[in-house]
Each structure stands twice: as C-alpha cells, then as structure tokens.
Amino acid sequence: MKLAIHQAVFGPLQNNVYFLVDEDSRACMVIDPSFEPEAQLRLARENGWQLKQIWLTHGHFDHTAGVKALSEAFAPPLPIAMHPDCFAWAATQPELMKMGMQVDPVPRVDIPLGHGARLAVDPAGGEKAVEVRDVSGHNPGSVLFYIPELKAAIVGDAIFAGSIGRTDLPGSDFELLAKNIRERIYTLPEDTALLPGHGPATTVGREKRSNPFVRG
C-alpha cells in the first residue's frame, strides 16, 4: 500500500476537497465533497482512482454539498462515513443556514465515526491506516483523519493556518474546540501537516507556537 493525498478546490467558498488514494490498488476515499460533484467524479476518472467511500469531517453544508450526488452516481451508492452527532445536527438546521444555496442534505450515515476509530482506504480488507479523532467545537461531532504514514491530518474546519474554526455558529463551543485542539491536534507530532477545509496547509508545530487563538 502506498498512500497519497490529492487536493482540489471547488465551489464559491473555495472548499478544499481531499482524495486519499492507495496508489497501488487505486482505491480512493473522497473527503468533504463540496460543490461540483461532477467535476470531482471527472477528476477521479481521469486519474484512474476507484472511489470507495465518502468521509466527512463535519456537517456544514459547504463540506457536504456534493455528498448525495456523488454517492448516488454509483450502484450501489458509495457508503458515507460521518459522526452521528454531525448528522443529527445537520438535519435540524434551517435552510437559511445555507446562505440561500440549494444543497442536498446528507442522505444517511453508513459508517458512524467516533474518536479512536480506524479506517482502511480499501474497505474490502486493506490496512486500517487512518485514525479518527473527535475535534468537536466548531461543529458537534467534528472529526479529523490522521494518516501517520503521510505525516498528515485532514482537519476540516477545526483549525487553520493562524486561525481556528468559527465558534459563533449554532452548536459551536469555543472552550470545547480549544480543549480538543490542545489534546487531539497539538499532541500529534510537530511535523504533522494540517490540511484544513479552506486555505493553505500548516503544521502542528507552527500552530502550537504561533496560533493566536489556541497556544500549545
């Protein structure tokens, strides 16, 4: 197994969508499929990636907008992995939370995520090389996906280069987010790349030293 992460940016909010690929088998997970699911399917086809599952870091609409279309482009539909608290939260949010955009809700959760879960890139029986960590605070049930082999963590909107996820939104909690950043992000090796839902990558060491919102 040889893992690689490929990033693409889609949609009006410039969302980072990540493709975690086993370059030996070409099995691929898509993480936080935002807008433009057709373009994501085309990108996968052009690269010979075999989409196996959809993984979600959290329930905000701009990270889930392409889930239904992407899943249902396959028969049977691609399984969806999400924290149950995220799914429950998203189901209660009024349309006004979506900034007037037409967004399909996440249709179901096939793989409930929780802190400490291990995931395989090839669900048919590959090595469980990805660790799930609960980083709730920006959104109930937010998670990150830590890939030790790549020294990288896909963190959604929990933390950004020099910033953190908003905590003025329904269901958010600054104290909880700060606690989870310190205990579940800053405890990763300092050279771990943090790949956020928007904007450029950073590292654990850089944020521990200089993030003005949560210091290590």
* 131/129 Cα distance (integer angstroms): 7
Specify whether the CB–CB gap between 15 and 197 falls below 8 A. yes
Return the domain boundaries, the chain: 3-210
Give me 69's structure tokens: 């279309």
What is the pTM (predicted TM-score) of this model?
0.96
Phi (first) and psi of residue 67, to 5 degrees: -60, -55
Give per-residue burial for 4-40: e unless 16+ CB within 10 Å, then b.
ebeeeebbebebbbbbbbbeeeebbbbbbbbbbbeeb
* 130/173 Cα distance (integer angstroms): 26
Residues 37, 41, 42, 44: is their CA dihedral positive or negative? positive
For residue range 145-194, list pLDDT tens digits in order: 999 999 999 999 999 999 999 999 989 999 999 999 999 999 999 999 99
* Architecture of the structural domain at 3-210: 4-Layer Sandwich (3.60)
For residue range 62-85, list pLDDT tens digits in order: 999 999 999 999 999 999 999 999
Radius of gyration of the chain (CA): 16
